[in-house]
């Protein structure tokens, strides 16, 4: 079934105009408002004595205007060209948040290079996998020792810091292709999947993908030049980069970049009126709620959560304390943002909303769970979430087989659908995610969605965090196992009673395991593969 789309746009609007490329849109914004503040480093950013790149210097805490960023990124683009890099060359970019690092990044895009963001916490093995996959010509790293893991035998690698110091000059200023000439279909980013199972693959996003995906959220979230984002997310991840930074710049708005997340700092800034927006992951919202100061979030215009599911109970608690319901949305590396709760309208707890402008969502392979006593309402028309739109990537870097497997032909002969691997159901036009296709537990022939069981167990007062996995069983195929981080003393009997009153028998955990913490990746997603049997 095609998921019904409730409009995010004003009545009468027929779509979202997007620039041909993200660079076109951002540079155009800078030209329109050259004196407007755009980005600044917070005092907690490493190296807080100030920053400079390609001859442009700024003191920490002061604003870089649009005109200054235009000049600095243009100079950075020329520096990349002078170093001998050509359009299409790959640059690994692994840095902490700072304006200087973003100038190097945007300069690379203006030069037609393909930027490959990589976590600053990536191990040597992980860096070697990236290098073997994309064969980079250059790397931007803060620790020169990390560049060694990106080198390939007999192949020179240009390595430099975020300020581009150390780049050689191999060409004159007039040599090479002019800046800002990338075509919409040219590759812009290679975003590696989180790799919770198997080796990460590199999703290739074009300049047009970035433009369409960013324009969609700017319109849907009513992003205005007067907005100021409290930016605490890592910029090497799509959430912090493509949503936080690109969205800010395309909207002509501004953002303060922090080196990391601190609940007190965010709440202090909100209380002082230093921002209008905050984007975070569920772990951050847990800490904001636990601070006892969640009411300060009510001073912000918009709080957005993503990258992992936000528990419905936490959503309701934050709304009650702040009067500002968190807007939960859904996206992934291969597609950028897909679905969002509305700015104007009900931000429904436990859902990720409805399709963003330009995005089509279809649920495929759904089934009826039947009428087993105690099962509750049958899940009808659910299934794997399939998507298509101008924001959706064309494929994985040099992985034709994986690309072919990731797309499904349209039954009516239209554009193919990308298979997200996520399972969902539709609830009054809103999408409810039920977990990953690979996480699905089949017990006694019945499908069990871990997210549903987790939602039920999370409402018990003794549960701080919970994850549900399947365990092989000769009798049942798989049985349900709950991994619990206890808020109070663990009481398996009380949890079993709680589950029995709310879940069909086949959905109830057969075993409870109490742990000190759940394994998570850099963006807060639980890594189920690291939970033992």
Q: For 266-276, how does the pLDDT look when each residue is reduced to its tens digit (9 = 90+)?
A: 999 999 999 99
Per-residue model confidence (pLDDT) at position 54 = 66
pLDDT band (50, 70, 90) for residue 145? confident
Residue with tokens 């977990």: 435
Any bridge partners for residue 482, and if so which?
468, 512
Structure tokens at 55: 């001859």
**Cβ atoms 51, 76 nearer than 8 A:** no
Spatial contact of 362 and 418, defined as CB atoms under 8 Å apart: no
What b/e readout covers 210-230, taking b as 16+ CB neighbours within 10 angstroms?
A: bbbbbbbbbbbbbbebebbbb
CA distance 55 to 76: 9
pLDDT of residue 358: 93
Please tell me the distance from the alpha carbon of residue 424 to that of residue 231, in angstroms, as a whole number: 30
pLDDT digits (tens, 9 = 90+) for 104-121: 999 999 999 999 999 888
pLDDT in tens, 440-451: 787 876 678 788
* pLDDT top residue among 299 and 143: 299
* Structure-block tokens of residue 99: 């304006």
Domain 33-182, classified CATH 3.30.1490.20, yes or no: no
pLDDT at residue 3 in the model:
80
CATH 3.30.300.30 spans which residues of the chain? 440-530
User: Could you tell me the pTM of the whole model?
Assistant: 0.85
Q: How would residue 370 be classed by pLDDT, with cut points 50, 70 and 90?
A: very low
- Render 169-196 in DSSP notation, one character per residue: --S-TT-SSPSS---TTSEEEEEEP--S
Q: Given this model, what pLDDT does residue 376 score?
A: 33
Round to whole Å and give the CA distance between 519 and 527. Answer: 6
Model confidence at 509: pLDDT above 60: yes
CA distances to 19, 313, 488, 489, 491 from 514, rounded to whole Å, are: 51, 21, 11, 10, 10
Distance CA 307, CA 374 (A): 32
pLDDT, tens digit, for every residue of 220-251?
999 999 999 999 999 999 999 999 999 999 99
Spatial CA neighbour of 451 closest among 332, 282, 322, 327: 282
- HSE-up of 505 (CA within 13 Å, CB side)? 6
Give dist(CA 281, CA 240) in Å, integer.
Answer: 10
CATH number of 440-530: 3.30.300.30
Rounded (5°) CA angle 175-80-92 = 145
φ, ψ (nearest 5 deg) of residue 266: -65, -45
**CATH 3.40.50.12780 residue ranges in the chain?**
33-182
Q: Does 470 have pLDDT greater than 70?
A: yes
| Confidence label for 47 from pLDDT (cuts 50, 70 and 90) | low
| 436 Cβ neighbours under 8 A, 6+ residues apart | 421, 422, 423
Element (DSSP H or E) covering residue 39: strand 37-41
State percent of the chain over pLDDT 90. 65
Environment class of 310 (CB within 10 Å of its CB; exposed 0-12, middle 13-18, buried 19+): buried
First to last CA, the chain: 36
Q: Which candidate, 158, 190, 192, places its Cα nearest to that of 150?
A: 158
- In the DSSP assignment, the letter for residue 348 is -
Question: Which pLDDT score, from 0 to 100, does residue 138 have?
Answer: 97
Answer yes or no: are the C-beta atoms of 102 and 26 closer than 8 Å: no
The answer to whether residues 110 and 96 touch, using CB atoms and an 8 Å cutoff, is no
Q: Which residue has the higher pLDDT, 458 or 4?
A: 458
């Amino acid at each position: 079934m095609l998921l019904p789309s409730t409009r995010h746009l004003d009545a009468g609007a027929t779509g979202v105009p997007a620039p041909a490329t993200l660079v076109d849109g951002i540079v155009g914004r800078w030209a329109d408002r050259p004196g407007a503040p755009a980005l600044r480093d917070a005092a907690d950013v490493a190296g807080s004595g100030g920053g400079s790149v390609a001859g442009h210097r700024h003191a920490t805490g002061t604003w870089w205007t649009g005109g200054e960023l235009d000049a600095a990124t243009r100079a950075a683009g020329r520096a990349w060209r002078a170093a001998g890099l050509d359009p299409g060359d790959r640059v690994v970019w692994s840095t902490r948040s700072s304006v200087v690092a973003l100038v190097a990044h945007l300069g690379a895009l203006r030069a037609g290079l393909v930027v490959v963001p990589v976590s600053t916490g990536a191990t040597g093995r992980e860096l070697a996998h990236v290098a073997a996959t994309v064969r980079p010509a250059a790397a931007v790293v803060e620790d020169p020792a990390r560049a060694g893991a990106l080198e390939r035998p007999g192949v020179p690698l240009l390595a430099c810091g975020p300020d581009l110091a150390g780049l050689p000059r191999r060409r004159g200023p007039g040599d090479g292709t002019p800046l800002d000439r990338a075509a919409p279909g040219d590759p812009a980013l290679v975003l590696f999947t989180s790799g919770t199972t198997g080796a990460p693959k590199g999703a290739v996003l074009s300049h047009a993908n970035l433009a369409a995906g960013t324009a969609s959220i700017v319109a849907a979230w009513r992003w205005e030049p007067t907005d100021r984002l409290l930016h605490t997310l890592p910029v090497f991840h799509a959430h912090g980069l493509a949503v936080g930074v690109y969205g800010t710049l395309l909207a002509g708005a501004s953002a303060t970049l922090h080196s990391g997340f601190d609940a007190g700092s965010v709440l202090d800034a909100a209380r002082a009126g230093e921002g209008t927006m905050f984007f975070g992951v569920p772990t951050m919202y847990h800490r904001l709620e636990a601070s006892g100061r969640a009411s300060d979030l009510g001073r912000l215009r918009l709080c957005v959560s993503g990258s992992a599911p936000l528990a419905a109970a936490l959503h309701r608690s934050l709304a009650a304390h702040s009067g500002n319901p968190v807007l939960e949305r859904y996206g992934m590396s291969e597609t950028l943002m897909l679905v969002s709760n509305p700015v104007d309208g009900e931000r429904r707890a436990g859902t990720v909303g409805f399709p963003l402008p330009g995005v089509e969502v279809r649920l495929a392979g759904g089934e009826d769970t039947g009428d087993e006593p105690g099962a509750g309402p049958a899940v009808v028309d659910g299934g794997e979430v399939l998507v298509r739109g101008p924001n959706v990537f064309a494929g994985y870097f040099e992985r034709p087989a994986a690309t072919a497997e990731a797309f499904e032909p349209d039954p009516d002969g239209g554009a193919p659908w990308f298979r997200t691997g996520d399972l969902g159901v539709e609830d009054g036009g809103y999408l409810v995610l039920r977990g990953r296709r690979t996480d699905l537990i089949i017990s006694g022939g019945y499908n069990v969605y871990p997210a549903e069981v987790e939602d039920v167990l999370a409402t018990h007062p003794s549960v701080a965090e919970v994850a549900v996995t399947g365990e092989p069983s000769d009798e049942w195929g798989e049985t349900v196992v709950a991994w619990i981080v206890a808020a109070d003393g663990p009481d398996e009997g009380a949890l079993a009673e709680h589950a029995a009153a709310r879940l069909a028998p086949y959905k109830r955990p057969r075993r409870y395991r109490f742990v000190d913490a759940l394994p998570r990746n850099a963006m807060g997603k639980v890594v189920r593969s690291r939970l033992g049997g």
